[in-house]
Structure 1
Amino acid sequence: MSGGPHSVLSVGATLGEGPVWVARDAALWFVDIKGPRIHRFDPALNIAQSWTAPGQVGWILPSDDGVFAVGLQSGVHRFDPADASFTLLHAPEAHLPGNRLNDATVAPDGAIWFGSMDDAEEASSGHFHRLHRGICTETGLPPVSITNGPALSPDGTILYHTDTLGKRIWRTDVTGDGSVANTRLFTRIEDDAGYPDGPTIDAEGCLWTGLFGGWAVRRYDPAGRLMREIRFPVANITKIAFGGNDLTVAYATTARKGLDLTALTQQPLAGDLFAFDPGVAGLPGHIATT
């Protein structure tokens, strides 16, 4: 693939999020949180499918039972595309009905790291959790209003987690037993550059982040230095995922959320799935052990 960001699937997502390349399926999966919809895109055949979720859906990840784990507002569910069924596995925040799950990743050991947020985007009630082999624990990281990520370094020893409204991305050490320590600032997004959304790590250990309201995605080196910015024809870029057989195509989800009629007229591709050449490969995805 060559060239800058271009729309590859017109879905008009209100809040597209959570792209993940599923190698066993040779397809990109992503969600529209507010849809609420789950989408599958096969780029080789240029075919798309979608399923309605029973509530706001923040992410979808392949699991070791051959189907998927998904983060709904009510908790982590098992999702089987064959019959469109959802089965509750864990409800880590049943005591916080105003929260919803927002973003997630799978670690090399199969653990799902995921965050929550205040659906009203006001209270600092968003937490990060870790789910592994049936045990779900709260990480103890400081709560924020909107969590994004987390993302993990290639060896799984560094956790990158985002405070979206605070415009900060943090890095935290992960120990062998899955606990966290030594949180420090990775980077802060400057004023007028949008808000850091979902982070993704490439094969060189660099971090990519979508910029909601920033018209761009950015790449930072492991020390937090800005390396590259890629501009988009839409304002709200939420997250990227590396896909294709060699993981050298970057797919980006976008959103129509918060755009008025004038903005939508100026951004007719808002909410579409985009693709571009990132100039670097991504990391092979891991399978979740729920």
Structure 2
Amino acid sequence: MHDIPTPISADRLILGEGPGYDGDSDLAWWFDIASKTLFLCDGTTQRQQAITLPLQASAAAITNDGRQLLLTERGIFDRDLSNGSLHVVLHADWSTGGLRSNDARVHPSGAWWISTISKRGTAGAGAIYHFGKGELRRLWADMTTPNSICFSPDGATGYFADTAAKRILKVGLDPLTGLPSGHPQLMIQFDQDHPDGAVTDHNGNLWVAIWGGSRIICLGPDGLHKTSLYLPVPNVTCPAWVGPKQDHMLITTAREGMTPAQLSHYPQAGAVFLMKPGTMGPQNPRVIL
């Protein structure tokens, strides 16, 4: 039986996204994309920080030498953990084309899969990229809302979704590089659900946030439904494994687009939740530059 989702702060985010965790530093993070804010949480002290950024960012990762990377609307930046200064690692000013960054996940090889999306929701404007050893390669384009990026624990399979198309695809990968070894195949086509962010557990199951569906669903690698985690908000955006044992799940949500009546009905919309689903994730890999 799953425990009750617990908000970890009083913050209510417009568009909560990009939760993540680094086991070596016991540091968790998440973003409010709309307000250009990065949140940090020290797992040992539980101290939280809200850091205003000069640009929209949606995901972070730690490098093999302990630096923090931010995925932003203008490319990838190195954020100095001592003073917060930003330094360009990869310049790709997607904002000039009306785009911003979106979902991302580090492959076991140390490559970083990242994605872009139209700020206005333009159909087919999004794409997924592979960032490995300083080089950016576009993998797939003509997507509307790239999401659900995650990988099997052995790195041999990649998963991703197009939220607007209500489907999740899977593709064979080279475990040593995180690059595709074949063509994407349909894993599951939803009738009503819109898959958002996702993460795999140590058994290779997918835990997928459902935008508008008030839950996270657990799917086997074959796409069959196993269980669900229910939350008291409609727009669930992304899960991440956190904690020394990787057995807690940090879950971001959003209140973007909700009416005053809906916000009154769902007062916890936009909260960041913590749950213990009864399983655990693999250790989060670091980006190798």
Residues in 2 aligned to 1:94 and 1:213: alpha-carbon distance in whole angstroms = 27
1:95, CA displacement in angstroms?
Answer: 8.6
Paired residue type of 1:275: L
**1:169-189 CA distance string (max 9 Å, x none):** 110111255432221111122
Residues in 1 aligned to 2:5 and 2:66: alpha-carbon distance in whole angstroms = 32
Residues in 1 aligned to 2:186 and 2:255: alpha-carbon distance in whole angstroms = 30
> Which segments of structure 1 move beyond 4 Å, counting only runs of 4 or more?
93-96
- TM-align CA RMSD: 1.7
1:32, CA displacement in angstroms?
Answer: 0.9
Residues in 1 aligned to 2:96 and 2:127: alpha-carbon distance in whole angstroms = 11
Three-state SS of the structure 2 residue aligned to 1:76 is: strand
Matched with 1:190 is 191
Q: Relative to structure 1, is the Cα distance of residues 205 and 167 closer, same or farther in structure 2, using a 3 angstrom cutoff?
A: same
Residues in 2 aligned to 1:83 and 1:42: alpha-carbon distance in whole angstroms = 16
Matched with 2:117 is 117
Residues in 1 aligned to 2:198 and 2:62: alpha-carbon distance in whole angstroms = 18
Paired residue type of 1:160: Y
1:96, CA displacement in angstroms?
Answer: 5.5
1:45, CA displacement in angstroms?
Answer: 2.6
Contact persistence 2:155–2:178 (CA under 8 A): no
**1:218-265 CA distance string (max 9 Å, x none):** 000010001111111011111111111111111101111111111111
Query: Unpaired segments of 5 or more residues in structure 2?
Result: none
Q: Relative to structure 1, is the Cα distance of residues 178 and 283 closer, same or farther in structure 2, using a 3 angstrom cutoff?
A: closer
TM-score (norm 2): 0.94
Matched with 2:67 is 67
Determine what percentage of the aligned residue pairs are the same residue. Answer: 26
**1:123-143 CA distance string (max 9 Å, x none):** 31111111111111111x242
**1:14-58 CA distance string (max 9 Å, x none):** 111111111122131111111111111234433211211111111
Matched with 2:228 is 229
> Is 1:49–2:17 an aligned residue pair?
no
Residues in 2 aligned to 1:114 and 1:102: alpha-carbon distance in whole angstroms = 7
> Is 1:131–2:158 an aligned residue pair?
no
Residues in 2 aligned to 1:214 and 1:95: alpha-carbon distance in whole angstroms = 29
Contact persistence 1:146–1:164 (CA under 8 A): yes
Deviates more, 1:83-92 or 1:203-212: 83-92
Matched with 1:5 is 5
Paired residue type of 1:149: S
Q: 1:81-100 to 2 correspondence within 5 Å? A: 81-92=81-92, 94=94, 97-100=97-100
Give the count of matched residue pairs. Answer: 287
Contact persistence 2:39–2:48 (CA under 8 A): yes
Paired residue type of 1:272: A
Residues in 1 aligned to 2:11 and 2:164: alpha-carbon distance in whole angstroms = 26
Query: Unpaired segments of 5 or more residues in structure 1?
Result: none
Matched with 1:158 is 157
Matched with 1:23 is 23
Paired residue type of 1:156: G
Contact persistence 2:148–2:208 (CA under 8 A): no
**1:206-227 CA distance string (max 9 Å, x none):** 0011111111110000100011
